[in-house]
Structure 1
Amino acid sequence: MQFVAFERAKQGTGASRRLRNGGKTPGIVYGGAAAPQLIEVDHNALWHALKKEAFHSSVLDMELAGQTSKVLLRDVQYHPFKQLVLHVDFQRVDEKTKLHMKVPLHFSGAEESPAVKVDKCMVNPIVNELDVSCLPSDLPEFIAVDLSKLEKGSSLHLKDIKLPKGVTAVVRGSQKNPALVAVVPPAVEVEAAPAAPAADAKGKKGKK
């Protein structure tokens, strides 16, 4: 994905407020051999781009001062209640340096799995994204996960999925093979016990 940025000379709260009033979003680009650089981006174009999953997880082409460079979106600050982006951070990408990124998981095939189709289980994703390490050229937009083989009583772990070429998962802590998807058995329908016959309100009259 590509976007256009412009050089920003002034900084400070007042300058940023004037930018936002003019339909621009202040930002910064840092990393690599060059010094951090202040930028501004068209707010509406940025707002629509931020709605796209790929803008958050892909290497982006940033056009600045007639030159195009590779960057990653690293941070976005939103207004607490307005539809307004207050600030955005990008990091320059070195083609020879591995990245550490969160990549979305795209699940498919759950409805065709024996767990759902035969045993009426529920398939619940535990995580929706995965920490990975790879070179910029190998960074996937997303990782496809096939759930069509899931069975009742099973679960899907990290080692059960095939990662794209050049991509390795980054796992923290003692859990080296975390669960990604859980299979939940169907709730047992407990039939209500039949109500006891109502006692004769009038009762039987005893003999005098």
Structure 2
Amino acid sequence: MANKEHKLVAASRKDEGKGASRRLRRSGHVPAIVYGGHKDPLSIQVEHNHLWIASQNEWFYSAILDLEVDGKVQKVLLRDMQRHPFKQQILHMDFLRVSENEALRASVPLHFVNQGISPAGKSAGVVVTHELNEVEVTCLPKDLPEFIEVDLAGLKVGDIMHLSEIKLPKGVTIPALAHGKEHDLAIVIAKHARVEAEEAAAPESAEVPAAKVSKDAGDAAPKKK
């Protein structure tokens, strides 16, 4: 899916430091910084409630945002967000400027569809696990998808789907695949629940303490007369 327009409004700020940041938060704003794009870093502030509502959407973490600062719009990606450990409060944000002519890397969510109608999904006692929920891609900003659909309609019991099997939008690649087959990670696995239970129990049953082995070996040895 191609990216839609998502807008955030901010204002530049000159006061920096912990004291200034605390004052901003008390006034209902979030301190943030914009960097990259061959320009100097810019300190900004964003209204917290507006930012909090936006942060509840999946696109906020992967889509290119139209950040309006003092009336001027620039394209950015969210790169870091600090939250309060227990309050519903955003403490700080980092935004990266993007250039329309330069490829970028971003993590994009995976949306798994048609699992329920697949042979694996309709089979009793089958567990379908999603090994990855997002994937890092590289592309030009105009080609960055907000999410990538993974069609599971043909998934059968025993199947393992890998990164290389994802149908990517035009202009989008997965850089990890360029580093060899060992980086072609599994993204979906379909297997019987019994098999999964046996595999989960196998490591525990296979490990026998060395002390026990030694003791058992001693008990089995013939006694000297």
Q: Which residue does 1:147 correspond to in 2?
A: 152
Counterpart of 2:135 in structure 1 is 130
Matched, 1:158 2:158: no
2:113 paired with 1:108: yes
Pick closer, same or farther for the CA change 1:100–1:75 going to 2, 3 Å: same
Find the counterpart in structure 1 of residue 187 from structure 2: 180
C-alpha contact 1:119 1:152 (8 A) present in aligned 2: no
Count residues in correspondence. 189
Q: How does 1:1-208 map to 2 (within 5 A)?
A: 1-118=6-123, 120-171=125-176, 175-187=182-194
Shift of 1:84: 1.0
- Aligned-residue RMSD, C-alpha: 1.6
Structure 1: segments with no counterpart, 5+ residues: 189-208
CA drift at 1:166: 0.3
CA deviations over 1:116-165 (Å, ceiling 9, x no partner) = 21354121100000010000000000000011101111111112221000
> Which stretches in structure 2 are left out of the alignment for 5+ residues?
1-5, 196-225
The runs of at least 4 aligned residues of structure 1 exceeding 4 Å deviation read none
CA distance in 2: counterparts of 1:169 and 1:119, whole angstroms: 34
* Structure 2 SS opposite 1:162: coil
Q: Distance in 2 between matches of 1:51 and 1:177?
A: 31
Deviation at 1:32, TM superposition (A): 1.2
SS across alignment from 1:168: coil
**Does structure 2 conserve the Cα–Cα contact (< 8 Å) formed by 1:121 and 1:152?**
yes
AA aligned opposite 1:185: H
Letter in 1 for 2:123: V
SS of structure 1 residue aligned to 2:183: coil
d(CA) in 1 for partners of 2:171, 2:45: 34
Contact 1:107 1:144 in 2 (8 A): yes
CA deviations on 1:157-198 (whole Å, 9 max, x unpaired) are 11222100000002176523211001121338xxxxxxxxxx
Q: Is the 8 A contact 1:9 1:38 kept in 2?
A: yes
Would the aligned equivalents of 1:104 and 1:143 in 2 still touch at CA under 8 Å?
A: yes
**CA–CA distance in 1 between the matches of 2:91 and 2:19?**
13
Distance in 2 (CA, whole Å) between partners of 1:43 and 1:116 is 42
* Identity across the alignment (%): 49
